[in-house]
Amino acid sequence: MKFLVVTFLTAYLGYAIGVYTQMPWWSFALSSALIALCVQQSKISTFVSGFLGIFLLWILLAFIRDVSNDHILSQRVVSILGIGSSSTLLILITGFLGGMVSGLAAITGYHLRSSAKAILSFNLE
Amino acid sequence: MRFVYLLLSLTCTVALIWVLNTRWQVGTTKTPRIGYFLSPQKGFWQNAESVSANFNAEIKAEALNGKASVYIDGRLIPHVFAENDFDAYFVQGYLHARFRLWQMEFQTHVAAGRLSEIIGKEGLNTDRFFRRLGMVYGAEQALAASEMDSSMKNAVNAYAAGVNAYIRSLQPEQIPFEYKLLDYEPENWSPLKTYLFLMFMSFDLSGRDVNTDLQMTNAKNYFGWDNYKKLYPNVMDSLDPIIPKGTTFSPASFRPQTPSDAAIRFFGKNDSSVQQSAKNLLFNVPTPDAGNGSNNWAVAGSKTKSKAPILCNDPHLGLNLPSLWFEMQITTPTYNTYGASFPGSPAIVIGFNDSIAWGVTNAGRDVMDLYNIRFKDELKKEYLMNGNWILSEQRQEVIQVRDEANLSEVVPITQYGPVLYDNEFNTPDARGLTLAVKWTANFANAGMKAFYLLNRAKNYKDYVTAIKNWTCPGQNFVFASKSGDIAIRQQGSFVAKWKHQGDFIMPGTDSIYQWQRMIPMDENPTIKNPTRGFVSSANQKPTDSTYPYYLGSAHHFPLYRGIIINRKLTGSNNITPDDMMKMQTSNYNVFAEMARPVLLKYLDKDNLSPVEKKYIDLLETWNLKADPQEKGATVFSCIWDSLENAVWGDELAGSKLKLPVPDSYSLLERMLKGTADFMADNITTKDKVETIQDAVLTACRKACKELEVLEQTGKLEWAKRKDTYVQHLLKIPSLSRLHLPIGGGEDIINATKSNHGPGWRMVVHLTAETEAYCIYAGGQSGNPGSIYYDTFINSWVEGTYYKALFLKNEDAATGDQIKWKMNFIKN
């Protein structure tokens, strides 16, 4: 349950930071890291939920655009990038790259959390 | 340990973002920032426009005087209704930017010598070339002149305000696709950019001499004046000029004097003038396409079924996406006009209004000359003129190069114009000479006023008043009015030249070689309501030899389209718009009609193999039409090219410098007259003197070998051989339309070559209710992610037209044909 909530939150905040701010394309890395900092999960779960949140978000956003566009632009772009002729592949690559950045950012958040804990417990002692 | 993990994961994250946020060099190009480019919220996916997109909008702008409405039809053609001029041009600027922003900016960057800012050092040669040609200088002169004219100032400023209003409304993720691909951002538009765009058109239509004057000079030096004249003759026997033969012209008001030493210093071989070895050699001078030209004609009511005139125009330029053309209607309380506009410039360029229609073809007159300058020293501050050292103006040009240091250079401006070629920047054809360019486009050229006034013209008198503003590039303005007049006039600022002046590089140290005077515009070739019932032009020589001024080298005037157009129009009566559309898309090759019989006459068929005979059979049975599936058209084209090569190729190859291939008429007219043995000898064979018969046989055999290869690769059909494509401005294949099954070609009314042709076609029937048919090789949207990006191309290939929706007034903007509406409101 927690995993699903974190995944959803990653997607939701990643979307919001793109819509409501004029920050660069990678600004979701900040929200993904922040979520991992705040919510404790296993290392694996942290990475996977971070990855999936943006992977699914980007795939969904790209898919909606692509279908309503009748694949016109994605077909042109796969040819420019020289990656065959599949719009679906381009959507998957889009999602994968976003997911990787988010997953790594989440792991960074995870380690930030455990480091912060260590500092705090060290201070308490 | 925890801190090590933290550091490690942070490093990995930052590194990945850095990799995805960097442009990587791959070959000669750079990738986009791939993370940005693929981001669905910021990158290219945002440009994937829904195929059922809604173009309704409400635009509030402070600059507007009143309100304006734009009705957009199903083809995305906007119909603008504004309360005054300022608002109309504001809205036009906004709409051009809305649909064509990237193209507008890219083209004007190229014209301004700023390509390197976008693509890096690959653009440097082009940038240096255009700056040294004085493109920016010319645009500045034109802008300064337009500032004096309140109506033009108003139009250009309103247009710029409209473009900028659109740019300001853009969120970063909404910028056009190409900005994201090349990773840069739009900048503000300015009135100067409109004039830069027009300078680019001037270059495209009158700038060939940056190269041809060099090559012609080399040909004259190599062959000598007498042989030069035979190879590149100025007389065309089969010429059918724009102004019918036999028309009398009033005597010239001015007779230019040929310099007394011209026989030696100009017509003589002067190879010794090579001065120095130059660096930064430009091997490919950006030369306008030799095929840049057009057809236009108007038929009087006496020749039409409806008794109303019909006007037709199809300009032939490079075939690009996004198209050079943008179709629209502009209406204010004082005028109502429709036609093709240039994204980058206000007004309608080719079109019609409630009273008249007009169109243009290129005049091809020589308005650009090169002068050989002698500077005192390396500083290039003083140059020799009539024995005195004269100070040159020093123009500092700073070229910003993306990812590299700026390049700064000083371009000396002489009294002729800027120094294009010198020891710092040259081309092998210019042999290290220091050459300044004199070009009418660099004069204060406020020609846009011509279109501004044509949009509002009501009759012949208004048309004449309007086009008098046009100076460069010289154009043949065709005209027809509802009141029944038809006319054509070759309009521009032309130089009164002594015979052959400026055909070659001219001595720059003597003022007697200067242009002496301009031809008074009233003496430009004009004809109104001729008895033959039509007027026409197809870039041919405007007049026969009785016109009292020198027209320039015949090399600039294609001959054959004019012949077939005049023949067809002479033979037609009860003409309908449908007939005119059929004529504009006609693939009949009149050059082949004249050349085939003499080719076959000189061909000794007994010497051919069965395979060769098969191809000659195809040629003999060919219907002379360059239709897409015709094999005979391919056979003819291969044999003719091969023949020119057999006749001239050996002589031209003898020169170390590149020489121009003589025009087709040069050889054909010799063959028709029986004097084609001239240079038919293959100078590489020492034992034999070949005749034209030998050359034809050799040429046919060579061509048949080529034809066999074409047949084996399935390219014997004309359209496959020709392989027409409409190319994106960045030359990216997947943004272009390739392998289009369209006929036509050189010397044919449908002048569609491989990447060049009649991109805009228009037929206007001037009945009480104007009836117009238009098509262009593109689509209204410049966005490669829009369904409207290339909408018209298939119909253009098929040779069909759309009936223009010419709304009489705003009340008529109802019904199914209007799909969307934009409201412009004063804020």
Instruction: Give the pLDDT score at B27.
Output: 86
Torsion of CA B164, B170, B173, B176, to 10 degrees: -50
Phi then psi for residue B186, to 5 deg, are -65, 145
8 Å CB contact between B130 and B424: no
Nearest CA in chain B to A70: B51
Nearest CA in chain A to B790: A72
Residue A114 with chain B: CB contacts under 8 Å: 2, 5-6
Q: What are the structure tokens assigned to A13, written together?
A: 């905040």
Interface test with A, best of B1, B2, B183 (most A CBs within 10 A): B2
**A18/B732 Cβ within 8 A:** no
pLDDT at B274 over 80: no
Separation of alpha carbons A2 and A78, rounded Å: 37
pLDDT at B655 over 70: yes
**A104/B789 Cβ within 8 A:** no
Residues 6+ positions from A56 with CB-CB distance below 8 Å: A7, A11, A95
Number of CB pairs, chain A paired with chain B, less than 8 A apart = 125
B702-744, pLDDT tens digit by residue?
999 999 999 999 999 999 999 999 999 999 999 999 999 999 9
pLDDT at A50 over 80: yes
Separation of alpha carbons B126 and B87, rounded Å: 36
CB atoms under 10 Å from CB of A31, counted, come to 26
Nearest CA in chain B to A71: B48
Residues 6+ positions from B94 with CB-CB distance below 8 Å: B59, B162, B163, B165, B166, B824
**B12/A66 Cβ within 8 A:** no
Residue B789 with chain A: CB contacts under 8 Å: 72
Burial B474-505 (b: 16+ CB within 10 A, else e): bbbbbbbbbeebbbbbbbbbbbbbbebbbbbb
Instruction: Give the pLDDT score at B275.
Output: 54
Report which residue type is found at A55: F
Instruction: Give the pLDDT score at B273.
Output: 54
B551-567, pLDDT tens digit by residue?
999 988 999 999 999 99
Nearest CA in chain B to A69: B50
**Nearest CA-CA distance, residue B269 and chain A, Å:** 51
Radius of gyration of chain A (CA): 17
**B787/A98 Cβ within 8 A:** no
pLDDT cut 70: percent of chain B above it: 99
Q: Does B46 touch chain A (CB under 8 A)?
A: yes
Closest CB from A18, A19, A111 relative to B5: A111
Residue A98 with chain B: CB contacts under 8 Å: 35, 38-39
**A79/B40 Cβ within 8 A:** no
Band (pLDDT 50/70/90 cuts) for residue A16 is: very high
Residue A11 with chain B: CB contacts under 8 Å: none
Closest CB from B3, B6, B48 relative to A69: B48
Report which residue type is found at B710: L
Q: Does B42 touch chain A (CB under 8 A)?
A: yes
| ipTM exceeding 0.95, yes/no | yes
B436-468, pLDDT tens digit by residue?
999 999 887 778 999 999 999 999 999 999 999
State which H helix or E strand residue B315 sits in: strand B310-318
Instruction: Give the pLDDT score at A115.
Output: 87
Q: Does A25 touch chain B (CB under 8 A)?
A: yes
A82-115, pLDDT tens digit by residue?
998 999 999 999 999 999 999 999 999 999 998 8
Interface test with B, best of A22, A26, A57, A86 (most B CBs within 10 A): A26
Q: What is the mean pLDDT of residues B517-534?
A: 97
Q: Where are the domains of chain B?
A: 590-722
Band (pLDDT 50/70/90 cuts) for residue B405 is: very high
**B40/A65 Cβ within 8 A:** yes
pTM: 0.96
Q: Does B473 touch chain A (CB under 8 A)?
A: no
**B38/A93 Cβ within 8 A:** yes
SS3 state at B255: coil
**B786/A118 Cβ within 8 A:** no
| DSSP character at residue B144 | H
Q: Does B787 touch chain A (CB under 8 A)?
A: yes
**B17/A29 Cβ within 8 A:** yes
B131-172, pLDDT tens digit by residue?
999 999 999 999 999 899 999 999 999 999 999 999 999 999
What average pLDDT does chain A have? 93
Interface test with B, best of A20, A25, A90, A111 (most B CBs within 10 A): A25
SS3 state at B395: strand
Instruction: Give the pLDDT score at B228.
Output: 95
Q: Does B40 touch chain A (CB under 8 A)?
A: yes
Residue B9 with chain A: CB contacts under 8 Å: 104, 107-108, 110-111
Q: Does B41 touch chain A (CB under 8 A)?
A: yes
A61-87, pLDDT tens digit by residue?
999 999 999 999 999 999 999 998 999
**B784/A76 Cβ within 8 A:** yes
CATH code given to domain B590-722: 1.10.1400
Band (pLDDT 50/70/90 cuts) for residue B3 is: confident
Q: Does A47 touch chain B (CB under 8 A)?
A: no
Instruction: Give the pLDDT score at B674.
Output: 93
B776-792, pLDDT tens digit by residue?
999 999 999 999 999 99
State which H helix or E strand residue B822 sits in: strand B818-826
**B785/A72 Cβ within 8 A:** yes
Instruction: Give the pLDDT score at B139.
Output: 95
**Nearest CA-CA distance, residue B138 and chain A, Å:** 37
Q: Does A26 touch chain B (CB under 8 A)?
A: yes
Closest CB from A62, A70, A118 relative to B51: A70
Closest CB from A22, A101, A114 relative to B20: A101
**A61/B41 Cβ within 8 A:** yes
B180-238, pLDDT tens digit by residue?
999 999 999 999 999 999 999 999 999 999 999 999 999 999 999 999 999 999 999 99
B4-23, pLDDT tens digit by residue?
999 999 999 999 999 999 99
**B784/A69 Cβ within 8 A:** no
Separation of alpha carbons B735 and B782, rounded Å: 11
Give the residue from B772, B775, B773 showing the smallest Cα distance to B796.
B775
8 Å CB contact between B120 and B401: yes
Q: Does B785 touch chain A (CB under 8 A)?
A: yes
B585-634, pLDDT tens digit by residue?
999 999 999 999 999 999 999 999 999 999 999 999 999 999 999 999 99
Q: What are the structure tokens assigned to B619, written together?
A: 């040629």
